[in-house]
Amino acid sequence: MENKRRGILERLNAGEVVVGDGGYVMQLERRGYVKAGHWTPEAAVEHPEAVRQLHREFLRAGANVLQTFTFYCSEDKLEISGNVTNITGAQINEAACDLAREVANEGDALVAGGVSQTPCYVTSHSETEVKAIFKKQMDDFLKKDIDFFIVEYFEHVEEAVWAVEVLKTSGKPVGATLCISPQGDMHGVPPGECAVRLVRAGADIVGINCHLDPLTCIRTVKLMKAGLENAGLKAHLMIQPLGFHTPECNHTGYLSLPEFPFALETRSMTRWDIHQYAREAYNAGIRYIGGCCGFEPYHIRAIAEEVAAERGFLPPASEKHGLWGAALEMHTKPWVRARSRRDYWENLLPASGRPKCPSMAIPADE
Amino acid sequence: MENKRRGILERLNAGEVVVGDGGYVMQLERRGYVKAGHWTPEAAVEHPEAVRQLHREFLRAGANVLQTFTFYCSEDKLEISGNVTNITGAQINEAACDLAREVANEGDALVAGGVSQTPCYVTSHSETEVKAIFKKQMDDFLKKDIDFFIVEYFEHVEEAVWAVEVLKTSGKPVGATLCISPQGDMHGVPPGECAVRLVRAGADIVGINCHLDPLTCIRTVKLMKAGLENAGLKAHLMIQPLGFHTPECNHTGYLSLPEFPFALETRSMTRWDIHQYAREAYNAGIRYIGGCCGFEPYHIRAIAEEVAAERGFLPPASEKHGLWGAALEMHTKPWVRARSRRDYWENLLPASGRPKCPSMAIPADE
Amino acid sequence: MENKRRGILERLNAGEVVVGDGGYVMQLERRGYVKAGHWTPEAAVEHPEAVRQLHREFLRAGANVLQTFTFYCSEDKLEISGNVTNITGAQINEAACDLAREVANEGDALVAGGVSQTPCYVTSHSETEVKAIFKKQMDDFLKKDIDFFIVEYFEHVEEAVWAVEVLKTSGKPVGATLCISPQGDMHGVPPGECAVRLVRAGADIVGINCHLDPLTCIRTVKLMKAGLENAGLKAHLMIQPLGFHTPECNHTGYLSLPEFPFALETRSMTRWDIHQYAREAYNAGIRYIGGCCGFEPYHIRAIAEEVAAERGFLPPASEKHGLWGAALEMHTKPWVRARSRRDYWENLLPASGRPKCPSMAIPADE
Amino acid sequence: MENKRRGILERLNAGEVVVGDGGYVMQLERRGYVKAGHWTPEAAVEHPEAVRQLHREFLRAGANVLQTFTFYCSEDKLEISGNVTNITGAQINEAACDLAREVANEGDALVAGGVSQTPCYVTSHSETEVKAIFKKQMDDFLKKDIDFFIVEYFEHVEEAVWAVEVLKTSGKPVGATLCISPQGDMHGVPPGECAVRLVRAGADIVGINCHLDPLTCIRTVKLMKAGLENAGLKAHLMIQPLGFHTPECNHTGYLSLPEFPFALETRSMTRWDIHQYAREAYNAGIRYIGGCCGFEPYHIRAIAEEVAAERGFLPPASEKHGLWGAALEMHTKPWVRARSRRDYWENLLPASGRPKCPSMAIPADE
């Protein structure tokens, strides 16, 4: 059945909006299946029902892509974490592919195999060793039925380029996202230059994920786009930012916030923040629009609802959501009924209920 | 097998801490299965896998009780909502009992049948009609295997008393929680008097749920406790507050906040707020400690971790949680490593990242 | 000439609103003439032009009373401070009387001799010694031409009662204000009981000054009023609160705030806050309405403008003030012109421009 | 006598730090002598004692320069305001010169004649007409004894250049400050280019005043400095910023804030903010360091205390100020005593006491 499904490039080439999925590790941490600080994905083997359910919620929220739950799933990272003594990375990768495929087939979604930064890059800085790790992961994925690859959460464009180079040998499309700020990657390579290097390495789609809030990530993707244009290159653009407000962050993103990772609640975006994000991403020419840490299913639904006109349909989960608060019009309290309209929610400045807390923190890297 | 399980009163009489579960409707709204504004539980029939998974997460987080997902599941409420045209309340109630029982049996949890306020009370104010509704729900539950009843989310003690009177005819234990403020119920009956009336009606456990934040709810339960003591009555105490900060709320609770129900993110409690809550609840003599709207699985885990010494064990989900941030001690960033200790998180005042937003709102009922 | 002027009781008995003056020590600290931490009034001798000018500004702003600049002017306090080695308390008291009289005679104002708490009370707790200090100050004042006395800034009603008892021997009217919270004085005497004791000691006017913000002080004066009514006593009511927002303060008032005394700027009240205060004080039956620390001349003008209808006139300084922003209607920026109306300023929630600061502090006595 | 005093350029050429004075119009508005919205200086004639006293406070706080109180004192502006029907601009200018001179002679201060933007520039845009206005003001000043000129509060560098060109014909030194943002003047001329034009027109000192907060103004002066260096030009640098926090302001500065002009209190800088400002200004190579609206005498004292080591002396007003809170060490409350040290005040994040207010506003020009 999945061979009838149109591929990622087919969709993007046709100008369609592709809605990505949300963040797995942070949401599964809150659900009890991932250890914060390590963030390894052994739940794909240990608790497949939990991963399957989250896949389903993102699908139902309108996601066109389900990423395999394989974040940080290189053998070196798994070993460091100490979380899995009797499960191999290969087992996790394969189980994760099966889960994503099973749920993707319940709808019109594609499966993307995800590969992320390795500890080995920083410790060895050996192209051979790092590429060998990526090759091993790729081989796991290729035993299963995946549609394309996403190289994501790279702080150094050099390592991301190595990953792209490896994964392109599969013959499948490759998307590549860095977790960098508008100032560039950790070696100071500016976003425009990063994009150029990724596309020259073979990436079909480039963009940004994680570390910073949506509007900041859009700024970075715009710089990537400009870099590509200046170089006369072409690629699709994608974005999967944090679902948290991080206005005061600098180079190292939300890792530098005092609230990371156990007190980020108060920075969480509302669904209305996501509407604004999705529209601005669309207006910036980005067509693959998803989320990373902090994006729960209802945030993905908000993307899908914002671009419903462009896509021509609402996601399944909208059957349980009055658009722009419409379902409140029958509420028993008159003042709640008065909130069943778009401009109320668009203009609301939500209070934190925390008068002893500031509105901006002092980042650790300041 | 469940007849070997010790009952709710057996546990409370033995002085054990009973950890409740968290909030279903608001969490399932975010997962895409409940319609905000109506908050009806048809997902028990339509998407049992979603309800089952959330039960499992609460169980894994340490809950000793799973409440049936039957909030607002009276026929009159379901009809008003318009959400279910081909499913009856009885079907939902029965499906919900089966789901809770299935998951409860995976661990050491009890199943509580939940009954909440009816629209009929406000429109008819007829004891006969309202009691007939409660009787019908009770009969649904009694077809299934539940351990006790929880009467919850009542704004008028009179209606809660009627519910208790009906449910006591089942012969099963009954807990009763009101969603009121320290000022009393909507007719101005003070919390102490409310508690007295509920216990005289037959409630075995009394307390507060929803509408206000944990520390406020503790204050109200203390007033209930004092009322009982003054009247020479005895009952167990329970509490299932909001997982949101609501310092500025008055009588009508979080319904009066401008952020209700679609922009409450920034008020969400951290796991560290919950530690403080659980300890203060325990110190106030409350032994049934759970949560309501805003309580996700990791909040329940935080209760279970705070009272781990008293209970003698950690919950299953703690295998994926370094206590007090311990798992951060191997983080690559030195400043994140420095957060792997209790006093860091206890003293943190988290920033909202929203400098254009106030820290307190003006409630609609002010 | 001053014998033609109507006395304080004559005015209050006639139901007139008496506008008090603002705070001297904190304003003269900012102008460079008072040492914070000590707050002694030697400027009356050292820099009379500075004290005279501030008197004039309060008079021009609408004050009916000028208090002598004699705060903390007992010999024991002056000695502790070490600020004056060649000036006696008597010299300061007398110079201060002359300055107040000189300016009062430029308008329709009365001169009130001010007496405040003594270090001796806490160290010796000797009625004889403390009364001797008050007697000495009274004798200084009686050499000069003052209209009545104000006993102010007492944390213990007992010491205030001693002061009233001494000053009543002068035959002049006495007003008495405590710097206490709604919880009562430092010995736990509730405000109602404090008021009763002060009136029984001979005070003609009782109320609250300093330590807490206007709306909190109004609450305390209401408790004093209720106490008097319950005891069948009568007295005029006065209030001279802080010009700072102190919502989180407890018993010890703004002394407990981390910002005291050198970072209180961000808590300063606007003129619009003062309009609200003056109206609520008036509505509470208080007829002597002034200010303490933080009240600058324009705050006093705001009181006078709010009660202009009741008094029948605007103060001189209103010639340089368009009521409710009226003078903005010719501003060059259209958006500033739009602010020349009452509802704009009444509804404005002013931003602090300090995103890394909280909106409430943790008081030192919490 | 004044011919013994060293001139402004003599001091700056010798590398001395020159401390400027603070803001007159906004402070005298609060004291009751200036009408907000118009901001004209007729008080120099109507209430000379008030202007004299404020001059004295700035002198006592350490100012080396007293600016004549002649803001907006062109005939066209005075006529528009309607504030003075029987006083001419010439009368005000001359009275203001006398007042500044009288007080300057009480210490070691210079008198600077101040000239600011004219309504005529915007309405006529005629170089001839605008220059005639400046010539008339200059002639008023030259009848009196002033030491140099300050051209200030110009939003368009073109008009400021015209003013400099006129005033240079007097033979006296001229300082020129624009009220612009780092983005440039109202016609989009960048700060570096503005500085070049002003110096080429004859300005001896260039810099920024008003409209934005200290740290923003320092950024703009740095851009001016860089512009001059690129052009191979030399000039002294000066700065007289707002005493308010304005982090969210754009091009039009604090005029765009919802709080302008009647609710700026909560943005006021503390003396400790000013220490930081003075140090950063000094480090940026700026040697004429003063303030504008919002700078009260104690803010000027804070500049003088911060640069006391560089200047070799403390200002007179420091006799009433324990450096860095030293005078608190004898306070009766132990927690206040604990504040008598530099690091306490440097690290304090002061709370606003206004939980219903945001920390940043949405500027009107956004």
Q: Render pLDDT for B142-190 as a digit per residue (tens, 0 to 9).
A: 999 899 999 999 999 999 999 999 999 999 999 999 999 999 999 999 9
| Mean of all residue pLDDT scores within chain D | 96
How far is Cα D32 from Cα C55, in angstroms, rounded to an integer?
12
In sequence order, the 6+-apart residues with CB closer than 8 A to the CB of B85 are none
What pLDDT does residue A78 have? 87
Interface of A with C in 242-301 (CB under 8 A): 248
What pLDDT does residue D366 have? 74
* Binding-site positions of D: 210, 292-293
Size of interface B-C (CB pairs under 8 A): 10
| Mean of all residue pLDDT scores within chain A | 96
Residue of B nearest to D361 (CA): B356
Given a cut of 90, whether residue C270 has pLDDT beyond it is: yes
Q: H or E stretch including C163?
A: helix C157-167
CB C358 to CB A360 under 8 A? Answer: no
B126, C77, C188, D328, D330 from C123: Cα distances, Å: 68, 12, 19, 19, 15
DSSP C117-130: --HHHHHH--HHHH
What pLDDT does residue B48 have? 98
pTM here is 0.94
Give the chains touching C; criterion: ≥3 Cβ pairs < 8 Å. Answer: A, B, D
How far is Cα B334 from Cα A252, in angstroms, rounded to an integer?
13
CB D362 to CB B356 under 8 A? Answer: yes
How far is Cα B230 from Cα B225, in angstroms, rounded to an integer?
9
How far is Cα C111 from Cα C54, in angstroms, rounded to an integer?
14
Nearest CB among C355, C356, C358 relative to A356 is that of C358
CB C359 to CB B359 under 8 A? Answer: yes
How far is Cα C229 from Cα D312, in angstroms, rounded to an integer?
63
How far is Cα B252 from Cα B364, in angstroms, rounded to an integer?
9
What pLDDT does residue C2 have? 44
Given a cut of 70, whether residue B57 has pLDDT beyond it is: yes
Distance from CA of A339 to the nearest CA of B (A): 9
Distance from CA of C360 to the nearest CA of B (A): 9
Kindly state the average pLDDT of the residues B37-52. 96
* Number of neighbours of residue B182 by Cβ within 10 angstroms: 18
Given a cut of 60, whether residue A1 has pLDDT beyond it is: no
Interface residue B359 vs chain C (CB under 8 A): yes
Of B33, B296, B262, B352, which Cα lies nearest the Cα of A27? Answer: B296
Kindly state the average pLDDT of the residues D60-64. 98
Rounded to a whole number of angstroms, the distance between the first and last alpha carbons of chain A is: 52
Q: Render pLDDT for B194-216 as a digit per residue (tens, 0 to 9).
A: 999 999 999 999 999 999 999 99
What pLDDT does residue B85 have? 81
Q: What is the CA radius of gyration of chain C?
A: 20
CB A355 to CB D355 under 8 A? Answer: yes
Categorize the per-residue pLDDT at C332 as very low, low, confident or very high, splitting at 50, 70 and 90: confident
CB C296 to CB D80 under 8 A? Answer: no
Categorize the per-residue pLDDT at B2 as very low, low, confident or very high, splitting at 50, 70 and 90: very low
Interface residue A355 vs chain C (CB under 8 A): yes
Q: Render pLDDT for B264-281 as a digit per residue (tens, 0 to 9).
A: 999 999 999 999 999 999
How far is Cα A329 from Cα C116, in angstroms, rounded to an integer?
60
Residue of D nearest to C122 (CA): D332
Nearest CB among D37, D57, D263 relative to C328 is that of D37
Asked whether C301 and C19 are in contact (CB, 8 A), the reply is: no
Total residue count of chain B as it appears in this document: 366
Q: Among D359, D360, D362, which would you mutate to test the B interface (most chain B Cβ atoms within 10 Å of its Cβ)?
A: D359
| Three-state secondary structure call for residue C180 | coil
Given a cut of 70, whether residue A42 has pLDDT beyond it is: yes
What pLDDT does residue D81 have? 83
In sequence order, the 6+-apart residues with CB closer than 8 A to the CB of D315 are D19, D60, D61, D62, D301, D304, D305
Residue numbers in B near A30 (CB within 8 A): 296-298
Q: Nearest 5°: phi and psi at A309?
A: -65, -45
> What is the DSSP secondary structure assignment for residue B165, as one 8-state letter?
H
What pLDDT does residue B192 have? 98
Between vectors from CA A28 to CA A176 and to CA A360, what angle results, nearest 5°? Answer: 75
Kindly state the average pLDDT of the residues C65-80. 90
Sign of the Cα torsion B160, B163, B169, B174 reads negative
Nearest CB among B355, B361, B362 relative to D359 is that of B355
CB C355 to CB A355 under 8 A? Answer: no
Q: For A151-160, A172-181, C78-87, D223-232, which range has the lowest pLDDT when averaged over its residues?
A: C78-87
How far is Cα A291 from Cα A241, in angstroms, rounded to an integer?
5
Categorize the per-residue pLDDT at A2 as very low, low, confident or very high, splitting at 50, 70 and 90: very low
Residue of A nearest to C353 (CA): A359
Q: For A174-188, B67-81, B350-364, which range has the lowest pLDDT when averaged over its residues?
A: B67-81
Kindly state the average pLDDT of the residues A82-104. 94
Q: What is the CA radius of gyration of chain A?
A: 20
Given a cut of 80, whether residue A203 has pLDDT beyond it is: yes
Given a cut of 60, whether residue D3 has pLDDT beyond it is: no
Of A204, A202, A159, A200, which Cα lies nearest the Cα of A179? Answer: A159
ipTM over 0.90: yes
Given a cut of 80, whether residue C3 has pLDDT beyond it is: no
Could you check whether the bond before residue D173 is cis, i.e. omega within 30 degrees of 0?
A: no
Instruction: Report how many helices (DSSP H) and strands (DSSP E) chain D contains, helices first.
Output: 16, 8
In sequence order, the 6+-apart residues with CB closer than 8 A to the CB of D33 are C317, C320, D43, D46, D47, D50, D51
Categorize the per-residue pLDDT at C75 as very low, low, confident or very high, splitting at 50, 70 and 90: confident
Domain A8-322, CATH: 3.20.20.330
Interface residue B312 vs chain D (CB under 8 A): no
In sequence order, the 6+-apart residues with CB closer than 8 A to the CB of D86 are none
Residue numbers in A near D356 (CB within 8 A): 351
| Mean of all residue pLDDT scores within chain B | 96
What pLDDT does residue B1 have? 40
What pLDDT does residue B124 have? 93
Q: Among C254, C260, C266, which would you mutate to test the D interface (most chain D Cβ atoms within 10 Å of its Cβ)?
A: C266
Nearest CB among D255, D335, D354 relative to C364 is that of D335
Q: Render pLDDT for D86-111 as a digit per residue (tens, 0 to 9).
A: 899 999 999 999 999 999 999 999 99
Interface residue B355 vs chain D (CB under 8 A): yes
Helix orientation angle between C297-306 and C48-61, rounded to the nearest 10 degrees: 20
* Binding-site positions of D for Zn(2+): 210, 292-293
Residue numbers in A near C258 (CB within 8 A): none
How far is Cα A199 from Cα A205, in angstroms, rounded to an integer?
8
Q: Render pLDDT for D45-54 as a digit per residue (tens, 0 to 9).
A: 999 999 999 9
Residue of C nearest to D328 (CA): C37
Kindly state the average pLDDT of the residues D170-191. 97
Which segments of chain C are extended strands (E)? 18-19, 65-67, 110-116, 148-154, 174-178, 205-209, 236-240, 288-289
Q: H or E stretch including D205?
A: strand D205-209
What pLDDT does residue D153 have? 97
C92, D17, D237 from D303: Cα distances, Å: 31, 10, 16
How far is Cα B165 from Cα B187, in angstroms, rounded to an integer?
20
Asked whether D322 and D328 are in contact (CB, 8 A), the reply is: yes
Given a cut of 80, whether residue A366 has pLDDT beyond it is: no
Asked whether A61 and A321 are in contact (CB, 8 A), the reply is: no
B168, B197, B232 from B235: Cα distances, Å: 15, 12, 10
Q: Give burial (CB, 10 Å; 0-12/13-18/19+) of B102.
A: middle
B293 is in an annotated binding site: yes
| Three-state secondary structure call for residue B113 | strand
| Three-state secondary structure call for residue A237 | strand
Residue of C nearest to B362 (CA): C349
Asked whether C278 and C22 are in contact (CB, 8 A), the reply is: no
Give the chains touching D; criterion: ≥3 Cβ pairs < 8 Å. Answer: A, B, C
Q: Render pLDDT for D208-238 as a digit per residue (tens, 0 to 9).
A: 999 999 999 999 999 999 999 999 999 999 9
| A162 token code pair | 């190595």
Residue numbers in A near C246 (CB within 8 A): none
| Mean of all residue pLDDT scores within chain C | 96
Pairing of strands B236-240, A110-116: unpaired
Kindly state the average pLDDT of the residues D174-185. 98
Nearest CB among B349, B351, B358 relative to C349 is that of B358
How far is Cα D18 from Cα D20, in angstroms, rounded to an integer?
6
Q: Render pLDDT for A46-74 as a digit per residue (tens, 0 to 9).
A: 999 999 999 999 999 999 999 999 999 88
| A17 token code pair | 């909006």
C120 is in an annotated binding site: no
Q: What is the dihedral of CA A353, A354, A358, A361, to 10 degrees?
A: -100
Q: Among C356, C362, C366, which would you mutate to test the A interface (most chain A Cβ atoms within 10 Å of its Cβ)?
A: C356
A274, C173, C274, C295, D304 from D26: Cα distances, Å: 43, 38, 18, 16, 21
Kindly state the average pLDDT of the residues D129-137. 96
Between vectors from CA B26 to CA B21 and to CA B28, what angle results, nearest 5°? Answer: 85
Q: Among D56, D153, D262, which would you mutate to test the C interface (most chain C Cβ atoms within 10 Å of its Cβ)?
A: D262
| D303 token code pair | 């500049």
CB D359 to CB A355 under 8 A? Answer: no
Nearest CB among D36, D252, D301 relative to C32 is that of D301
Categorize the per-residue pLDDT at A330 as very low, low, confident or very high, splitting at 50, 70 and 90: confident
CB A361 to CB C361 under 8 A? Answer: no
A261, D269, D275, D308, D348 from D279: Cα distances, Å: 36, 15, 6, 11, 18
